[in-house]
Chains A and B, each alone.
Chain A
Amino acid sequence: MARRLFSLCVSREKKRRRTADPTDKMAVDGGHRNSGCDWDGRWNHVRKFLERPGPFTHPDFEPSTESLQFLLETCKILVIGAGGLGCELLKNLALSGFRLIHVVDMDTIDVSNLNRQFLFRPKDVGRPKAEVAADFINTRIPGCKVVPHFKKIQDFDDSFYRQFHIIVCGLDSIIARRWMNGMLISLLSYEDGVLDPSSIIPLIDGGTEGFKGNARVILPGMTACIDCTLELYPPQINFPMCTIASMPRLPEHCIEYARILQWPKENPFGDISLDGDNPDHIQWVFDRSQERAAEFSITGVTYRLTQGVVKRIIPAVASTNAVIAASCAMEVFKIATSAYIPLNNYLVFNDVDGLYTYTFEAERKENCSACSQVPQDLQFPPSAKLQEVLEYLTENASLQMKSPAITTTLEGKNKTLYLQSVKSIEERTRPNLCKTLKELGLSDGQELAVADVTTPQTVLFKLNFTT
């Protein structure tokens, strides 16, 4: 079933004819193609996988000289992120024959990117990553047309995403991943409860941290999505406030004390928030942390540690990003050309001790809040306070929402029960948190619509009163 759908979704704009000619006496070298900038032999390495039959190819694969044309002229790929993974992805795709590539990244280049984001140079510091990356690739790899977008993924709507055949992510944020995941799920169309395969846009997702990485293939609506496997991403651990405030033991506790408690109180640079990229701010935190540490005879506070804690820095090297981006690009190629059966569906990599890879099939969750279409259940007694519902939405391992906004329909009118992100609405709705569900006028079976940064669409929950 999966195999059939692959070729359907990829061949949306692809016209194939049987032109296999394995007895062609011409060298593969005879590459005089339509595009003017394709010199002799340019695509030799790629063409062997597109124009020759083989024993391990995808069952739907047909050798053809048209496949290369599809890659060069028609196949549209979206790369999310132009950082450690993004730079590598753009290069890998461009050298595999993809030319119509868009790249989205909201960041500008920082000096600390230069140890691995090889499309950038010291002179580029401060410029938008997407633009510099696109420039480099388009110049170095003739014919490639990377279109940059110095934007957040949330700045685009479904009409933007719909134009791509495949989307590949090199993000450093779980929230952004979930949002992207949600967006592609929202593009799916069902006819009489059956998923229309041409509405599926495959999502290849890569992630790295130090010497560890993973790459996965997601067919929204068909295979495990990001939210199906949310437990694989454990929530970030924050130190308890009482430890920070009155019994620090580690240098990190001293740094958090300066960041969370002292900075807002003393406002050393005026009424502005702490900027991890401002060396003066970090220096201030470092100095205060050292004082705190001395008070408790704690050793180990360094400038580097201070910066690491304040900015939540994740160590990174070129090599891990190279490996994971290579795996991801390989999958993009397989799906776009049906050359081989794609990864099914999750690869884990670790080169701390030798080199270790593990490949497995992540399973779909039957009641996944993102992709299962099963209405989500909320079980609470009518005497429960709204605060408890809020905590459930944020703390439950399968939901892990960040700042959910809860609305419902009461007496035919839309009512916001609680919303955190807009100050005036937060203040107005805060009293609701202490009210019980019954006091708020909610009834058994009531539908609650929850919006959150982790998803572009609201999630519908059904309230089930327990006794």
Chain B
Amino acid sequence: MAATQASKEQKYDRQLRLWGDHGQETLENAHVCLVNATATGTEILKNLVLPGIGAFTIVDGHTVSGEDVGNNVNLAFMLQNRAQAATELLQEMNSDVSGNFVEESPDKLLDNDPEFFHRFTIVIGVHLPESTCMRLGSVLWSASVPFLVCKTYGLIGYMRLVVQEHTVIESHPDNALEDLRLDQPFSEFKNHIQSYDLDSMDKKDHSHTPWIIIVAKYLEKWLSEHNCQAPKNYKEKEAFRQIIREGIFRKNENGVPEDEENFEEAVKNVNTALNPTKVPTALEDLFNSEQCNNITSQTPAFWVMLRAVKEFVHNEGSGSLPVRGTIPDMIADSQKFISLQNIYREKAMQDTAAVSKHVERLLQSVGKVCCKNASFLRVVRCRSLAEEYSVDSVNKDEITSCMDSPDSEMVFYLMLRAVDRFYQQHSRYPGVYNYQVEEDISKLKLCVNSLLQEYSLNVNIKDDYIHEFCRYGAAEPHTVAAFLGGSAAQEAIKIISHQFVPFSNTFIYNAMSQTSATLHL
């Protein structure tokens, strides 16, 4: 209905400016599964319900306790099933979203119906004991369903992304370099530059000529005088800048150069303008990957488009990517700016058409967006939980090198692993009750030592951390749950929308020092 569409546009306006209508569509088609409606879990889900995901399902066999209501705004009454209670309050937050619940422990579901989990766009598992986590991880890995593991333990937040291969076309990099092709001007650009004669212009035209043209003109001259070698080191670039400065239109009477802002812009932009056009290394690696070179009828669209871009690079592009087609704003009059902008735009359209022909050849549909973002394509790959936890493939190097720094967050990862081990052995977490805190310290220490021994990790964990983790008593303070709630929700949105780049693969938040780290485990 038109009315609902208009009000959705209004409601979601602030976020549509970040991921666009097409990004929003992916959210509205998504079905997210949350396992365990703890404060952390419902905070994550709240931050997905508000932006309008299509549907969610909560899997939880627990009953709401007094403790639960105390730290969770999405639970109001005790003794209800937690999945149902949370679903009701979350659902109420956004009528566009449809909420479901399953009053069952995940272990039971994995026993009886593991394929239940195949239907989801992403599964978020919160506060799962190690064994359940590994089982669920294995099912999701085989089904290629992304899995986000989250935990708030005392003042430590933990996230682990488990996805085999996540492709990103629109990574939206913060500080991207422009694609101006000044070092290898394509023929239409060359012709356009020829149409300018700086020496014969009147003052008005001269001071409203785009800096790109100015640099191109002076570069042409430089190349002819320097054996086709562009300015390379600081000395040469400075000399080049000086030549441009001297090009500023002189006032006839006193010979003093007047201010010409466009020339100043040219001087300022020399460094970036002289950046050589080249295919980024990360992209070369993708070009050389198996998926790119082995296109079959099963190949996802991303790899087909990437292959088409590669074909373009080796043919029409003569070693370069399709032209991006955008230029930054600069001092110029409207006509000069627009006509220059159109030169780049039309070339980009041409290049896109060429890539599309390759794509057609590779039996898929057109990717205009892929060309514009060719420089910034990203692929994220995470190891499976099985690989992380196996003695044979544990990332010892990462762990030991991080532990060399005294302030590394890696120690918290190891403590969380030790605490999981404690739970496996004692069917409870350490220090939950006051009287347990002291006695559990030595028990937890045994778990730490057995963990380090099993993985042959020659690292030292100070007793203070063991004491602190007993002190935590598996508490889930709301502020830490809320921090993870925001962080995890945005990572889930990245996975669903394929925009922006997700973390890989482990994130630790330390609320004591307000620091964080991303680890590769």
**Interface residues in chain A, defined as those with a beta carbon under 8 Å from any beta carbon in chain B:** 21-29, 31, 39-46, 48-49, 51-56, 88, 91-92, 94-96, 111-112, 114-116, 118, 122, 140-141, 210-211, 215, 247-250, 296-298, 304, 307-308, 313-327, 329-331, 333, 340-341, 343, 347, 350-355, 357, 359
Q: How far is the CB of B17 from chain A (nearest CB, A)?
A: 4
Q: How far is the CB of A266 from chain B (nearest CB, A)?
A: 22
- CB pair A45–B70 under 8 Å, yes or no, is yes
- CB pair A48–B514 under 8 Å, yes or no, is no
With A44-B70, A319-B493, A354-B502 known as contacts, the answer to whether A24 contacts B14 (CB < 8 A) is no
Complex contacts, B221 vs chain A, CB 8 Å:
none
Binding stretch for chain A, among B248-256, B283-291, B326-334: B326-334
- CB pair B17–A308 under 8 Å, yes or no, is yes
- CB pair A24–B477 under 8 Å, yes or no, is no
**Interface residues in chain B, defined as those with a beta carbon under 8 Å from any beta carbon in chain A:** 7, 10-18, 39, 43, 46-47, 50-52, 65-67, 69-73, 76, 78, 93-95, 154-155, 171-174, 208, 329-330, 332-335, 337-338, 341-342, 432-435, 437-438, 464, 467-468, 471-473, 475-480, 482-483, 485-487, 489-491, 493, 500-504, 507, 509, 511-516, 518
CA separation between A53 and B467, bound complex, in Å? 10
- CB pair A316–B14 under 8 Å, yes or no, is yes
CA separation between A319 and B487, bound complex, in Å? 6
Complex contacts, A29 vs chain B, CB 8 Å:
66-67, 433
CA separation between A190 and B70, bound complex, in Å? 42
CA separation between A122 and B16, bound complex, in Å? 19
A31, closest chain B residue (CB):
B66
Q: How far is the CB of B426 from chain A (nearest CB, A)?
A: 16
- CB pair A52–B471 under 8 Å, yes or no, is yes
- CB pair B334–A248 under 8 Å, yes or no, is yes
Q: Which of B94, B500, B515 contacts A352 (CB 8 A)?
A: B500
CA separation between A298 and B342, bound complex, in Å? 10
- Classify the secondary structure of A's interface with B: loop
B463, closest chain A residue (CB):
A55
Complex contacts, A46 vs chain B, CB 8 Å:
70-71, 475, 477
- CB pair A112–B486 under 8 Å, yes or no, is no
CA separation between A323 and B509, bound complex, in Å? 11
CA separation between A323 and B7, bound complex, in Å? 27
Complex contacts, A316 vs chain B, CB 8 Å:
14-15
Q: How far is the CB of A286 from chain B (nearest CB, A)?
A: 14
| 29 A-B pairs whose Cβ atoms sit less than 8 Å apart in the complex | A23-B434, A29-B433, A41-B65, A41-B70, A42-B67, A45-B67, A45-B478, A48-B475, A49-B475, A52-B434, A52-B437, A52-B473, A92-B478, A92-B482, A95-B73, A111-B11, A112-B14, A115-B12, A116-B15, A210-B18, A211-B500, A215-B514, A296-B334, A317-B14, A318-B486, A330-B511, A351-B487, A355-B516, A357-B515
CA separation between A140 and B435, bound complex, in Å? 33
- CB pair A319–B489 under 8 Å, yes or no, is yes
A249, closest chain B residue (CB):
B337
- CB pair A45–B490 under 8 Å, yes or no, is no
Complex contacts, B471 vs chain A, CB 8 Å:
48, 52-54
Q: Which of A111, A115, A308 contacts B50 (CB 8 A)?
A: A115
CA separation between A330 and B435, bound complex, in Å? 27
Q: How far is the CB of A303 from chain B (nearest CB, A)?
A: 9
CA separation between A370 and B516, bound complex, in Å? 32
A25, closest chain B residue (CB):
B435
Q: A95-B478, A140-B73, A316-B14 are in contact. List 10 more A-B contacts (CB 8 A).
A: A31-B66, A44-B66, A48-B472, A91-B478, A112-B10, A215-B514, A249-B330, A319-B47, A323-B483, A353-B174
Q: How far is the CB of B121 from chain A (nearest CB, A)?
A: 17
Complex contacts, A40 vs chain B, CB 8 Å:
66
- CB pair A323–B486 under 8 Å, yes or no, is yes
Name which of B50, B332, B473, B509 has the most chain A CB atoms within 10 A of its CB. B50
CA separation between A321 and B15, bound complex, in Å? 12
